[in-house]
Amino acid sequence: MDDWIQHRSAIWDDSSLLVIDQTLLPHRTELVRLTGVEDYCNAIRTMIVRGAPLIGVVAAYGAAALAAICSSVEEFEAGLPRLLETRPTAVNLRSALEVQLSVARSSPTFLQDALLESAHQFYLSEIQSSKAIGAAGGQWIEARFGGSNPIQFMTHCNAGRLATVEYGTATAPIYWLHENGLPVHVWVSETRPRNQGASLTAWELAQAGIPHTVFVDNAAGHIMQSSPIDVVLVGADRIARNGDTANKIGTYLKALAAREHEIPFLVAAPGSTFDLRAGTGREIPIEERNPEEVSTIVGHCGGDLVRVDLVPRGTSAHNPGFDITPSHLIHAFVTERGILEPAQITSLATSSAP
């Protein structure tokens, strides 16, 4: 297996984007090569790739693939909804495509070359943002909780390198502290229904040699009540102008519990995840996903990945992919520009993408 897999979620290789198939983790580590625009659409839609920053990067490369089959900027613009409609909640997707459309309009003669170069810049920008988030959050946390005992984190879903390109958002401060010799321990919420904490975050932390414990979602309040949790640290898929934050379903409940137990609740996200056009969380669309994700579960059995039923056949299921955490429950935002309070969000540009 290629060495880059130990550090990144995707890499440009031989005129295509090579990505880790996250639907198979942690049981199998397989790569998928994205070449045509439908490859990119399918990878985003089926969650072969996921996480707002990575979705934006993949969409940028998908736009370059779309340009390869278009003879004009008008044809290119008409084809963009194919990518835009794959995941409605993550603002990075829309932001990336808007930037690519602007690039296309300014470079109509060399359409694909210009869009590919822009996609490469998206890729590098997300890496730089993640590392800056790690340093900003790590220093803030070290100043308050650093010492001889491990700093105790609680996470939700996966906002690590698998959700970006490298380092991650919510995991970035954890990696920074670990790399700088500070002891840490991470309580990893399983994050039903797709179990992205148990399958992805735990996989990442194991790769990095960081101590961690997986727990069932319903135990979050009990753990905050009975264990010395220092910080709850999550990512985001879209952040409104007032600080209301859309993130994986279940984030809101953890924020409520953290407030009750006076534990700092931090949201780590790059500037590209802030949507200043959305005034509040009520303006953020919430993706409704396939009910089968709730009524079944995939696991590893005898060398095969199998899907089994969890509920009686014919039972209806409700599966919102995200919820909205009100800004008053958020202690601060960890960004590549430093630590921001909700009232400071308007100081950000609409996007940190190139």
> Which residues are known to be catalytic?
237
Q: Are 166 and 206 in contact (CB under 8 A)?
A: no
Strand pairing partners for 240?
275
Which amino acid belongs to residue 95? Answer: S
Using H for helix, E for strand and C for coil, what is the string for the chain?
CCHHHHCECEEEECCEEEEECCCCCCCCCCEEEECCHHHHHHHHHCCCCCCHHHHHHHHHHHHHHHHCCCCCHHHHHHHCHHHHCCCCCCHHHHHHHHHHHHHHHHCCCCHHHHHHHHHHHHHHHHHHHHHHHHHHHHHHHHHHHCCCCCEEEEECCCCCHHHCCECCCCCHHHHHHHHCCCCEEEEEECCCCCCHHHHHHHHHHHHHCCCEEEECHHHHHHHHHHCCCCEEEECCCEEECCCCEEEECCHHHHHHHHHHCCCCEEEECCHHHEECCCCCHHHCCCCECCCHHHHEEEEEECCEEEEEECCCCCCCCCCECEEEECHHHCCEEEECCEEECHHHHHHCCCCCCC
